[in-house]
Amino acid sequence: MHNNFDAETHEASESLQRRGICQEIATLIRNYDVPEKALTGRQPYMYESHSGISHSELFPQGGSVLNIGDPYQKVDLPGVTILEYESGEEARFTGDYIKGWNNLPGTIDKFTGEVLSLYQRICQEHNEPVSAEVTNIEDDLIVITGLLADIRDIEQSTEKYQLMGEASEIIRTVADAIAKLTKEIPNGNDSRFYSSDIIKAWYRCQGFALLIQDLVLWEESIRPELLQESIRLGGVSDTQESEIIRRIVARERFIKKTQHAEVIKGAWPEVEFNDQQFDRIIASWSITAHIFRVMKPHHFVFFFDEMSRILKPDGVAYLWPMDHWYSDYGNLLTGVTSYVDDGGDAVVVTINNECVSYAKEPRYFISQLENRNVSSLAILPKHSNKDKIVERMRAAMLHMDSESVDSEIMDENEFEF
């Protein structure tokens, strides 16, 4: 009886410790810069160039994939589970609606002027042809300008909101074309300068599209429901108003995001999944760029152990990027060492087309990290044939040279609309 009591006490203690660490990591995620997170949803086609791994390896046919953090739910693929504690639109929602409407004409002029000026300057100063999709930027901006001119002249109505929806979609098309400009600028002394300008223009597009969507949602859904609730309750406080807005945004935006993927609202690793549930775990920017820099060694140990638990024997967790806002690898390496000593492995995928195992080449693994020569970090489960997995990873590498890999140096705090 005494032994049973001791075992139950130990199990309860471990459970409490697990919950405590889960909450610590989840709090780090939730405390990340929320306004910036709202604009950083990346399309699946970007995953290959950012990770250095082919799409078929990241999303194996018929496999189950956990995608951690995707504020715009763009990875809407069969077999994918998206874990996100809030959608991008929930994270950043226009607060001053009257100011938003009043400033709309000036915002339109500033947006079209900045983006068109950047595009024309690049075309004038570089003689090499750009793709047809990028060339369409100028035509799209003309269409947007016409739509927005009509929007200015029409009173609040369903027609006005439909036009704004059309404008928002075309603006996002321009944003995608702008993102491709980084690959079409010849490498040279000014490439970094242009890259910075392009990133700002991309954020300008995303922010402006979001502003338009917010204004439409305010007129069509939020304002009428706020009025109804105010009448029903005999008035609402600022706190009640904020909660009503949050609830409406969650209803209108979050639950309508996907057709194929399952969306689970929660923060990693607070949501507990089954043992050996997934073939892949993917975290694009949501983990490494956001919280690796503030995680402690015991966070990393728990983090890797939890990934190992929910991965299938031939599964892999791919995390990237490994060089954004991050320079001190001490805590990470302490966690990796502990994980490898306990039977797991960590592999860096380098921009020189190598897969370097920490278990087999720890010094070279560390040097690649410190030299910022890494596209992604792969976590291999403890219960796996690691040599076989690494062989499969090597076959799935994109074989890119260092100049072809996207290097996104974003200062998102500079963005505002």
Provide the CATH number for the domain around residue 48. 3.40.50
- Of 253, 274, 296, the one marking the end of a domain is 253
Whether residues 102 and 197 share a domain: the answer is: yes
Domain count within the chain: 2
Size of the chain in residues: 417
* Helix, coil or strand: residue 327: coil
Give first-to-last CA distance, the chain, whole Å: 66
Q: Which residues contact 322 (CB under 8 A, 6 or more apart)?
A: 288, 348, 369, 372, 374, 375, 376, 377
Cα→Cα distances 269→22, 41, 254, Å: 5, 20, 20
pLDDT at 23: 75
Quote the CA–CA distance of 282 and 297 in Å, as a whole number: 21
Q: Which domain holds residue 124?
A: 97-253
Whether residues 192 and 272 share a domain: the answer is: no
Whether residues 107 and 216 share a domain: the answer is: yes
Q: HSE, CB side, 13 Å, CA atoms: give it for residue 155.
A: 0
pLDDT at 29: 62
Opening angle at CA 14, ends 10 and 19, nearest 5:
150
Return the structure tokens found at 296: 């402690």
Within a domain: 323:
yes
Whether residues 235 and 313 share a domain: the answer is: no
Quote the CA–CA distance of 270 and 278 in Å, as a whole number: 17
Backbone angles phi, psi at 165, to 5 degrees: -65, -40
Q: What is the pTM of this model?
A: 0.67
Whether residues 284 and 344 share a domain: the answer is: yes
Quote the CA–CA distance of 349 and 363 in Å, as a whole number: 15
Backbone angles phi, psi at 349, to 5 degrees: -95, 115
Return the structure tokens found at 326: 């991050």
Return the structure tokens found at 117: 């000026």
pLDDT at 403: 38
Whether residues 101 and 249 share a domain: the answer is: yes
Whether residues 102 and 248 share a domain: the answer is: yes
Nearest to 377 by CA among 298, 316, 309, 330: 316
Quote the CA–CA distance of 73 and 288 in Å, as a whole number: 19
pLDDT in tens, 313-358: 999 999 998 876 566 789 999 999 999 999 999 999 998 889 999 9
Opening angle at CA 174, ends 83 and 252, nearest 5:
40
Residue 2 class from Cβ within 10 Å (0-12 exposed, 13-18 middle, 19+ buried)?
exposed
Within a domain: 417:
no
Within a domain: 241:
yes
Whether residues 360 and 284 share a domain: the answer is: yes
Quote the CA–CA distance of 189 and 180 in Å, as a whole number: 19
**57 close to 334: Cβ distance less than 8 angstroms:** no
Quote the crossing angle between the two packed helices 238-253 and 223-233, to the nearest 10°.
140
pLDDT in tens, 285-308: 888 877 888 888 999 999 999 999
Residue 335 class from Cβ within 10 Å (0-12 exposed, 13-18 middle, 19+ buried)?
buried
Nearest to 389 by CA among 355, 358, 340: 355
E strand segments, 246-342:
262-265, 278-284, 311-320
Whether residues 249 and 272 share a domain: the answer is: no
Residue numbers in the chain where pLDDT is lower than 70? 1-15, 26, 28-45, 70-73, 85-101, 125-135, 179-196, 199, 253-257, 324-327, 399-417
Quote the CA–CA distance of 71 and 390 in Å, as a whole number: 30
Within a domain: 5:
no
Quote the CA–CA distance of 180 and 178 in Å, as a whole number: 5
**160 close to 201: Cβ distance less than 8 angstroms:** no
Residue 350 class from Cβ within 10 Å (0-12 exposed, 13-18 middle, 19+ buried)?
buried
Residue 352 class from Cβ within 10 Å (0-12 exposed, 13-18 middle, 19+ buried)?
middle
- Of 229, 253, 277, the one marking the end of a domain is 253
- Of 196, 225, 253, the one marking the end of a domain is 253
Whether residues 235 and 290 share a domain: the answer is: no
Whether residues 182 and 103 share a domain: the answer is: yes
